[in-house]
């Protein structure tokens, strides 16, 4: 039998077609349903872009009002999920908590086929799960959601236990819109594989969260914070970065597998940070480190086309809105729920179960020494 062509990690393999997003690495563009994600993030609300990803068009006023209402309905966790949240071990990771609590929501409402109503219900609970866990860990009762606030603003309100500023809401909204969806990444692929078996939406999302939890996928933004904390001051930047590159180490928040030009998400986030600069001097250090790093990367890695990726300014934004670094990946998860669920629904609309092949590299009985008889 001749072996089929293959590629480790399915690199370069087309797994499906989609109308949801295009990651255009050569031209540095990210497109959601025909719109430039960067422009959407600066001009639209989180809920408007959710509607776009789920439905394929931007909402009119009535559609938006209806969606906002559905979002608010989903903020109430069922009693059994609250009990589970209280009982989970203290040392369980926040990603494990989100995965477990979402799993506990499964009931007949979430049965196959996946729907937009299911997607809203699952998405709207994630910030509440995160904030409730934070409250229980601190020995407090979680706050009740504020229904006058949208999804992103309510998340900040629940975490900080005070009304967020308009700038904070805008900054986190830009971040959440830009990280909602990003082509056939590992977690989105995982969600589509599970959905292709006609399993329920909650199971598909739980699998995606498991994939997102890995440091090779969702776990990078806190690394940028560690790097900037380690550098500490502008004066130390040049020597610190030079030492890393001399040592052939990688700088966190630079380079990307697909984007070989500026990551458009990083550009939009940087634009947003400029509005925050007055509120947080830590950003000054980030701008300085970027400037020095780009110059030194050009010197040490000529022709490699290394720029800041989404993680660099994501870390800056998340820190500026005062989210602790242990909430970086969970917050990424809260926004990526939208992309996963859009993909799960799209998968169901033209489904074929995923069943790739593997190349067996073990031995076969005719080449194997016969085991000695035990009799
Ligand atoms: N710092 C220093 N050198 C780098 C960096 C970096 N951040 N990124 C790539 N390089 C170098 C490589 O060492 C390599 O050098 P060489 O040709 O002398 O061997 C060259 O640039 C090409 O790099 P590759 O490793 O081939 O780039 P690849 O596309 O495989 O990797 C990756 C992309 C994994 C993101 C890499 O750039 C990296 O590790 N960056 C730092 C970690 C990071 O920021 N991760 C978040 C990515 S964004 C996201 O996942 C949502």
**pLDDT tens, per residue, the chain with 375 residues:** 565 678 999 988 999 999 999 999 888 899 999 999 999 999 999 999 999 999 999 999 999 999 999 999 999 999 999 999 999 999 999 999 999 999 999 999 999 999 999 999 999 999 999 999 999 999 999 999 999 999 999 999 999 999 999 999 999 999 999 999 999 999 999 999 999 999 999 999 999 999 999 877 886 667 888 899 999 999 999 999 999 999 999 998 898 888 888 888 998 898 888 877 655 667 888 999 999 999 999 999 999 889 998 888 888 888 888 899 899 999 999 999 999 999 999 999 999 999 999 999 999 988 777 777 776
C-alpha of residue 251 to centroid of ligand 1, in Å: 8
The strand pairing partners of 32, in sequence order, are 21, 35
Q: Residue 39 corresponds to which tokens in the numbers above?
A: 């422009």
Residue nearest ligand 1's atom 6 by CA = 250
ipTM over 0.85: yes
What spacing in Å lies between the alpha carbon of 286 and ligand 1's midpoint? 19
Per-residue confidence (pLDDT) for residue 279, from 0 to 100: 55
What architecture is domain 18-215+337-349?
Orthogonal Bundle (1.10)
Please state which CATH class domain 220-320 belongs to: mainly alpha
Residue spans of the domains in the chain: they are 18-215+337-349, 220-320
CA-CA-CA-CA torsion for 113, 187, 178, 201, nearest 10 degrees?
A: 20
Which alpha helices (H) appear in 78-184, and where do they start and end?
Answer: 79-87, 94-103, 116-137, 151-160, 166-178
pLDDT at 311: 85
Instruction: Tell the residue nearest (CA) to atom 37 of ligand 1.
Output: 255
**Residue 221 Cβ contacting ligand 1 at under 6 Å:** no
Q: Which among 347, 338, 345, 261 has a CA at the least distance from the CA of 32?
A: 338
d(CA 245, CA 95): 32
| pLDDT (tens digit per residue) in 53-64 | 999 999 999 999
For ligand 1, atom 18, name the residue with the nearest CA.
301
Helices (H) and strands (E) in the chain, counts: 16, 3
Residue in 316, 122, 327, 141 with CA at minimum distance from that of residue 218: 327
Q: Is the Cβ–Cβ distance between 289 and 237 less than 8 Å?
A: yes
What is the whole-number distance in angstroms between the Cα of residue 300 and the centre of ligand 1?
13
Atom 44, ligand 1: residue with shortest CA distance: 253
C-beta 305 within 6 A of ligand 1:
no
Task: Let me know: does 181 contact 20? Beta carbons within 8 Å.
Answer: yes
Q: pLDDT tens for residues 252-304?
A: 889 888 888 888 899 889 888 887 765 566 788 899 999 999 999 999 999 98
Interval between CA 257 and ligand 1 midpoint (Å)? 7
pTM score, whole prediction: 0.90
- Best of 12, 37, 250 for a ligand 1 pocket test (most atoms within 8 Å of beta carbon): 250
């Amino acid at each position: 039998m001749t072996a089929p062509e293959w590629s480790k990690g399915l690199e370069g393999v087309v797994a499906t077609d989609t109308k949801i997003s295009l990651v255009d690495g050569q031209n540095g563009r990210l497109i959601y349903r025909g719109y430039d994600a960067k422009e959407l993030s600066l001009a639209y609300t989180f809920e408007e872009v959710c509607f776009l990803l789920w439905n394929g068009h931007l909402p009119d006023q009535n559609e938006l009002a209806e969606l906002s209402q559905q979002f608010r309905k989903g903020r109430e966790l069922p009693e059994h999920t609250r009990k589970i949240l209280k009982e989970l071990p203290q040392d369980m990771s926040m990603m494990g908590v989100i995965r477990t609590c979402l799993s506990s929501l499964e009931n007949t409402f979430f049965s196959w086929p996946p729907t937009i109503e299911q997607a809203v219900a699952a998405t709207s609970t994630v910030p509440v799960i995160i904030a409730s866990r934070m409250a229980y860990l601190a020995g407090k009762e979680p706050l009740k959601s504020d229904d006058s606030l949208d999804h992103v603003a309510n998340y900040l309100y629940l975490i900080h236990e005070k009304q967020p500023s308009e700038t904070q809401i805008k900054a986190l909204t830009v971040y959440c819109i830009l990280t909602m969806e990003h082509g056939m990444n590992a977690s989105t692929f995982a969600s589509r594989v599970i959905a292709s078996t006609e399993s329920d939406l909650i199971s598909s999302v739980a699998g995606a969260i498991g994939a997102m939890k890995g440091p090779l996928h969702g776990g990078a933004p806190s690394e940028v914070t560690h790097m900037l904390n380690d550098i500490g001051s502008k004066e130390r930047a040049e020597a610190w970065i030079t030492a890393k590159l001399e040592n052939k180490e990688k700088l966190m928040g630079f380079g990307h597998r697909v984007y070989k030009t500026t990551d458009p998400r990083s550009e939009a986030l940087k634009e947003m940070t400029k509005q925050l600069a007055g509120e947080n001097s830590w950003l000054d250090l980030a701008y300085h480190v970027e400037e020095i790093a780009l110059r030194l990367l050009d010197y040490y890695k000529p022709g490699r086309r290394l720029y800041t990726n989404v993680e660099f300014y994501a870390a800056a934004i998340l820190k500026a809105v005062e989210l602790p670094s242990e909430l970086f990946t969970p917050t990424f998860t809260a926004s990526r729920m939208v992309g996963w669920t859009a993909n799960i629904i799209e998968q169901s609309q033209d489904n074929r179960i995923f069943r790739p092949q593997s190349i067996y590299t073990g031995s076969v009985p005719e080449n194997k020494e016969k085991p000695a008889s035990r009799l």
